[in-house]
Amino acid sequence: MPSYRELLQQTKSEISEIDAASAQGLEGAVWIDVREAEEWQEGHLPGAVHIPRGNLESRIEGVARDKTAPVVLYCASAARSAFAAKTLEELGYEDVYSLVGGFTDWKRNGLEITMPRTLSPEKRTRYSRHLLIPEIGEEGQLKLLDSRILLIGAGGLGSPASLYLAAAGIGTLGIIDADIVDETNLQRQIAHSLDTLGTPKVDSAKRTIEALNPDVEVVPFQERLTSENIDAVLAHGWDVIIDGTDNFPTRYLLNDASVWHDIPVVHGSIYRFEGQVTVFDPANGPCYRCLYPSPPPPELAPSCAEGGVLGVLPGIVGSLQGSEALKLVLGVGESLAGRLLLFDALHTTFDEVAIRKNPDCPVCGEHPTITEYIDYIEFCSRGTVNA
């Protein structure tokens, strides 16, 4: 049996080692820190990905898909990284290096290091079920806490979406709604309660969200979205918009603005037992006008009197919108861009139809004909589809 020192020497003779200067010159290299979590917390190389040695085999394919691209491994002093390099070669990686001198020499030579941001112990506890998911982890949770999501409407869809996003630790939630809480809202709008009857919905929602999670900053806009204020509202640097609007004029206004501001919109609508969800991502798929170039004439729009909705339906559709928004912020999974999801609560079915970008779309097409905001005439004062 060889001693540890002999085994290390033998391993080093079988792999490629590289010095810092040469490693920095490698084009398109993936840098992997194989040290333990406590060591990573004390600083790491800029741009490196942290995969502790013990997780290397299981997690490497998620980080380095191309087995021909260079991979630079480092640890504290180039021992663990040498064994790690051997492992990657055995897994078929063709261009693997162990960094000579490791993190210790890198730091000693005055090269740049990054100090990782970390969650406080309280936040680690609060978000522990996110930290356990490899696609989220501490880095993803920090991303959520840094992110900004705007909710159009604090009604049926905005209530569940805002509560789940707040619980998940989205750092800033903007909410725009001009309405006041009334008794007919409480059948489904769970952000509000008897305590907040008669108060503005944005204040009521803010109160509920702050009681749930003080990490979240709520930015209320107690106004209707109009062509006059939409640029100012959207100028707050939102990463994602959740559309819970209850009328066509706002939906078209929001669509055009989101294309021009390049912000993805998670769209939801509900009517009686049926709900629809999709993502209109201007950079990646169709917009609302690709499907419906202009609003229906008022006589064909559903009348206000018919706008009933099953109490729990907005909970399902609004939660799906929240889930899409979280994925967009985290950059994980596959969004509903280009797919319209249809939910039928009466028969409990989900269906999906493909939706495509229309090259002749008046807003996002090749030769746009709409280049400024249009204020369509309101069909009725309250919700036609999903109030």
Helix (H, G, I), strand (E, B) or coil at 97: strand
Q: Which is the catalytic residue, given 75, 290, 304, 380?
A: 304
In this structure, are residues 290 and 357 in contact, taking their beta carbons and an 8 Å threshold? yes
Choosing from 181, 225, 287, 326, the residue that interacts with Zn ion (CB under 5 A) is 287
Choosing from 251, 289, 314, 324, the residue that interacts with Zn ion (CB under 5 A) is 289
* Residue 281 beta carbon to Zn ion: minimum distance, rounded to whole angstroms: 11
- Which run of H or E residues covers position 279? strand 274-280
* Residue 260 beta carbon to Zn ion: minimum distance, rounded to whole angstroms: 12
Distance between CA atoms of residues 102 and 345, nearest Å? 58
Distance between CA atoms of residues 248 and 267, nearest Å? 13
Distance between CA atoms of residues 44 and 187, nearest Å? 52
Site for Zn ion contains 361 (CB under 5 A): yes
- Which run of H or E residues covers position 350? strand 349-354
With CB under 5 A as the rule, give the number of residues binding Zn ion. Answer: 5
For Zn ion, give the closer residue by CB, 316 or 364. Answer: 364
Closest by CA position to 322, among listed 149, 140, 177:
149
Span from 198-206, 213-221, 272-280, 353-361 in contact with Zn ion (CB under 5 A):
353-361
- Tally the C-alpha atoms within 13 A of residue 8's C-alpha that lie toward its C-beta: 9
Is 361 a catalytic site residue?
no
Site for Zn ion contains 265 (CB under 5 A): no
User: Binding to Zn ion (CB under 5 A): which residues in 52-81?
Assistant: none
Tokens of 305: 């009197």
Span from 88-96, 285-293, 314-322, 377-385 in contact with Zn ion (CB under 5 A):
285-293
* Residue 129 beta carbon to Zn ion: minimum distance, rounded to whole angstroms: 38
* Residue 368 beta carbon to Zn ion: minimum distance, rounded to whole angstroms: 9
For Zn ion, give the closer residue by CB, 82 or 287. Answer: 287
Closest by CA position to 190, among listed 167, 171, 169:
167
Tokens of 257: 């603005």
Site for Zn ion contains 290 (CB under 5 A): yes
For Zn ion, give the closer residue by CB, 323 or 335. Answer: 335
Footprint of Zn ion (CB under 5 A)? 287, 289-290, 361, 364
Which residues have a catalytic role annotated? 304
